[in-house]
Structure 1
Amino acid sequence: MPGTFSQMYIQIVFAVKGRNSLIHPSWENELHKYMTGFIQNNGQKLLAINGMPDHIHILIGMKPSCCLSDLIRELKKSSSSFIKDKKLSPYAFQWQEGYGAFSYSHSNLNQVIAYIMNQKEHHKKRTFKEEYLEFIQKFELEYNPKNLFEWMD
């Protein structure tokens, strides 16, 4: 639409159901490529994607016409089917319900991209639970601990 300008950057974080470590390094890149294509085919700009065997981080440049909850629901559904159809995991694969979505300014993009791309090193020092709770506190979100992901301590 002429005269409409926007700049929205969202980091999305979600986990494998039961926080099982099912995303194997041998097919992780294939999953990331699939998810990248899905996001781009839905009119959004993927800026970074990476994760761990039990969760994933995605940074997108989001258009205002996008409904984030619909995008994430369909991404999780589609990528689960992709994993099953390709027989990438010998185990039943499913994403947990829910997700985190955190917004950033343009000036923070390089820092957020570096953070996402450095997930493997980052998680040598802290757990996903510690990381996720820090996001919630940093963004001053109200939450009920009962509604957070299933944690494996």
Structure 2
Amino acid sequence: MANKTNELSHSKWVCKYHIVFTPKYRRKIIYNQYREDLIEIFKRLCSYKGVEIIEGHMMPDHVHMLLSIPPKIAISTFVGYLKGKSALQMFDKHANLKYKFGNRHFWAEGYYVSTVGLNEATVKKYIAEQEKHDIALDKLSVKEYEDPFKGNK
């Protein structure tokens, strides 16, 4: 799959992107009842634009996706489309979200994107193992939260 080229009418291309974005205020909402709905919405929106989801994973507070996006679509335009339309569809499907995320702001501003190039296997492995790594770190770290205004106690 690393060398698979796609074709448009006058071009051949391999454009793969690793994209990460978060819900507003990085709320840990994706694992709850909304996870399956978001997966379905992302698949539908990507198919509308001719974008292939190579790998994807929903973390409790962010989304990792490895996408193959045609060069005729700007990455910023596509991420804006994906976040905007998915937020509208989530608010339509779950009316109670408007009380948690007032004014239809489901996703935080901004996103992370990197081109994958020839190291696709490495990025796929990273996305697949991200959850296991985060759980292991949570188990290892026992943080003592201190109030910065009261000093050390």
TM-score range, shorter chain: 0.7 to 0.9
Taking a change above 3 Å as real, the CA distance of residues 2 and 16 of structure 1, as seen in their structure-2 partners, is closer
Normalising by structure 2, we get a TM-score of 0.72
1:14-69: CA deviations, max 9, x gaps? 11111111213433132112102211211111111112121101111121101111
Distance in 1 separating the partners of 2:41 and 2:88: 11
Query: Counterpart amino acid of 1:58?
Result: M
- CA RMSD in angstroms comes to 2.1
Q: Do 1:83 and 1:89's aligned partners in 2 also have CA atoms closer than 8 Å? A: no
Shift of 1:2: 4.5
Aligned to 2:56: 49
Pairing 1:81–2:88 present: yes
CA distance in 1: counterparts of 2:64 and 2:54, whole angstroms:
11
**SS at 1:118 equivalent:** helix
User: In structure 1, how many angstroms separate the alpha carbons of the residues matched to 2:34 and 2:95?
Assistant: 7
For normalisation by structure 1, the TM-score amounts to 0.72
Matched, 1:113 2:124: yes
**C-alpha separation in 1, matches of 2:20 and 2:83:** 11
Pick the structure with greater CA Rg.
2
Q: Does 1:6 align with 2:39?
A: no
Q: Secondary structure at the match of 1:69?
A: helix
Alpha carbons 2:31, 2:58 under 8 Å: kept: no
Deviation readout 1:129-148 (Å, 9 max, x if unpaired)? xxxxxxxxxxxxxxxxxxxx
Task: Give the CA deviation at 1:11.
Answer: 0.5
- Structure 2: tracts of 5 or more residues without a match: 1-7, 139-153
1:122 matched to 2:129: no
Work out the CA distance in 2 between the residues paired with 1:17 and 1:79: 13
Residue 148 of structure 1 corresponds to none
Q: CA deviation at 1:88?
A: 7.6
Unaligned runs of 5+ in 1: 128-153
